[in-house]
Chains A and B, each alone.
Chain A
Amino acid sequence: MDLLRFATAGSVDDGKSTLIGRLLYDSKSIFEDQLESIELASKNRGAETTDLALLTDGLRAEREQGITIDVAYRYFATPKRKFIIADTPGHQQYTRNMVTGASTADLAIILVDARKGLTEQSRRHATISSLLRVPHVVLAVNKMDLVDWSEERFDEIYREFTDFASKLDIPDLTAIPVSALLGDNIVDRSTNMDWYQGTSLLYHLENVHIGSDRNLQDVRFPVQYVVRPQTAEHPDYRGFAGQVASGILKVGDEVMALPSGLSTRVAAIDGPNGPVDAAYPPMSVTVRLEDEIDLSRGDILCRKGNHPEPTQDIEATVCWMDATPLTERRKVSILHTTRMARAMVKEIAYELNVNTLHRDQDVHELGLNSIGRVKLRVTTPLLIDDYAENRITGSFILIDEATHRTVGAGVIRH
């Protein structure tokens, strides 16, 4: 069975959590005691019907305010697939948590309230999904019950969205009219919208093709940890542990280590359940090499003719997630694959206006939840690829040197 990770996105109150609740409820993925507990919680809040959003809004503060604050992860399976859901908050203040949920998603469901149409926050989330290159996007036009199940309204929002998305990078877009509250087109096809010819949301989630989203071309193996038992039984064992970022690594292959540039061959690959002939993403393995070369955490195994670029100058689009704005000349820690270094902001080239996608070059700092182009100088060369080619070697996070909080997320574009 394979695995699909998906995240919700969209403005506050557009119905994200209700939609996830409905999906779990109608696919019979809710346990009796969970249902009982949200029935009781709904009643305690004076609601007449059970609020399915409470299935993911599990924190006290969320239930008090009726909003989502942080991502909730939920799990369910159908005979076709296992799903990991990240239900993210729509509130602008918690954009950092939406980014957290979307960063690992294979698919994003962007909800739009049919009455309101696209809002700034819908556009921000669409922009973030595109920036993170979430490979599949579903536009779920929600609350169709409140617009008389109108095909015209759906078409209007669909056009508005595709207009905006044409300036973004969204390789696969599917639009579905739904009512999360009533269940239309969530698990079962709606009987209120005969004009809609497509499938239900669940059917789409079960069948969307995700097999080709991985990069099996470029060998990248960031070394996480060196395994050296130095025991009587294994006096000479020296293995390089890590998770394959991309490409296929085979026993006998010639590989190059960076930054040293030294070449050798793969002598053996130890998987979690014994030796294997080949390793490919996302396997965690330990690689043994034929020659004793200089290689440690933060280094990368790749191929002579196909390797990442070692550079101290990085240009990236950064999503800033801290209340103190990012300014030029500021120093931060940077974590890229398994390498931690320090970086200085050389230049903030522009801020991206998420409503118009205009690049505002007069802006030289990035405030909370804003997105912009940043040039960094790093203390030591990082082994980078373009994020478009490689989600792992093309991404990094920024960490505040004083508070140690994660304050920024960057995707690298040459």
Chain B
Amino acid sequence: MTQPASLALSQLDALEAEAIHIIREVVAQMERPALLFSGGKDSICLLHLAIKAFAPAPVPMPVVHIDTGQNFPEVIEYRDRIVEQYGLTLVVGSVQDAIDAGKVKEAPDGSRNRIQTPVLLETIEDNRFDACMGGARRDEEKARAKERVFSFRDEFGQWDPRNQRPELWSLYNGKVHPGESIRVFPLSNWTELDIWDYIRSRDIEVPSIYYAHDREVFLRDGMWMASNEWAVPPEGVETQVRKVRYRTVGDATLTAAVESDADTIDKIIEETAATRLTERGATRGDDRVSEAAMEDRKKEGYF
């Protein structure tokens, strides 16, 4: 048994308590909740919090992966192993299947970022999910900084940033009509540094690509892209082997690596505390399109 040293929670323990409270509210209030699990560090923390929230009972909802088909193999391997280990039900929304069925079309540059949204919305509709929890954090991006913890979506999955429900204290309103749904962000108040602190203090395993390793990369728009079947260096651009790691894990065509020697959790935390770039600024091609790229995607139903 652990004895409380004082009657104050550290800020990390307070964030954990808040997230668990939110996750339990979702399951208590909603009829068909789901948890979005990509194998990235935020959704890994979210899943661990969900496991803690209901222990020793199993997590009472399926985990959903919107699979672009352009994945880092280490991440898919990790995903499947965790699903197996915790006896979870995995629902995959496949972007490849949607392309094959002619429902969506890849962008001319091969990016599948934008067409994730219709696949996500279809997965929600097909499974009649009325709540989807995700690991998004408000510190990631300026439109996310504006979003409620319980974020209402209409029957088209749209977010209306000018007309959000008031959200007071820790009272969350999950009431929806059929077809409408709520996106829930239990990690709203966490920062990137909090995530890594949590991973260290709770000894959580994350995919190996988060740790510094040698990888064949090339430079695109000032960012290091892994060269693989989806990201091929343009003519005249040489690939080279560099010591890199990933700060975010998304679509393999879009997510860049950062140069780093941080091959242990302590070094990652040191590096995260000292960094001068946000994780999206450093690694995400998708947010550079325009000033309101994220807001626009979210209005369409993106996470």
Contact = CB atoms under 8 A, between A and B. Distances in A.
8 contacts: A1-B11, A82-B11, A97-B166, A100-B166, A103-B168, A227-B55, A237-B56, A248-B7
Contact of A3 (B3, B7, B14, B55): B14
Nearest to B273: A77
A281 B21 CA distance: 12
Interface stretch (A148-156, A177-185, A228-236, A377-385): A228-236
Given A59-B295, A96-B166, A104-B168, 20 more contacts: A31-B278, A37-B281, A56-B142, A59-B143, A59-B161, A60-B292, A71-B146, A72-B146, A103-B168, A216-B7, A224-B21, A275-B1, A277-B2, A280-B7, A284-B20, A333-B175, A335-B171, A338-B28, A404-B175, A405-B173
Interface in A45-77: 55-56, 58-61, 63, 69-75
B62 to A, nearest CB: 18
B164 A70 contact: yes
Contacts of B275: 31
B57 interface: yes
A59 B21 contact: no
Contacts of B188: 73
B10 A69 contact: no
The B interface is mostly helix, strand or loop, or mixed, namely loop
Contact of A404 (B20, B176, B282): B176
B21 A284 contact: yes
A12 to B, nearest CB: 16
A3 to B, nearest CB: 4
B52 interface: yes
Interface in A315-336: 321, 333, 335
Given A2-B8, A56-B145, A59-B143, A391 B169 contact: yes
Interface of A: 1-3, 31-34, 37, 40-41, 44, 55-56, 58-61, 63, 69-75, 82, 84, 96-97, 99-100, 103-104, 211, 216, 224-225, 227-231, 233-234, 237, 241-243, 248, 270-278, 280, 282-284, 286, 297, 321, 333, 335, 338, 391-392, 395-397, 399, 404-406, 409
Contacts of A40: 291
Contacts of B170: 104, 243, 392
Contacts of A225: 24, 27-28, 54
Contacts of B3: 277
Contacts of A1: 10-11
Centre residue among A34, A228, A321 by max chain B CB count within 10 A:
A34
Nearest to A229: B57
Centre residue among B1, B3, B16 by max chain A CB count within 10 A:
B1
A290 B143 CA distance: 48
A397 B9 CA distance: 27
A404 B178 CA distance: 12
Nearest to A103: B168
A282 to B, nearest CB: 5
A69 B162 contact: yes
B53 interface: yes
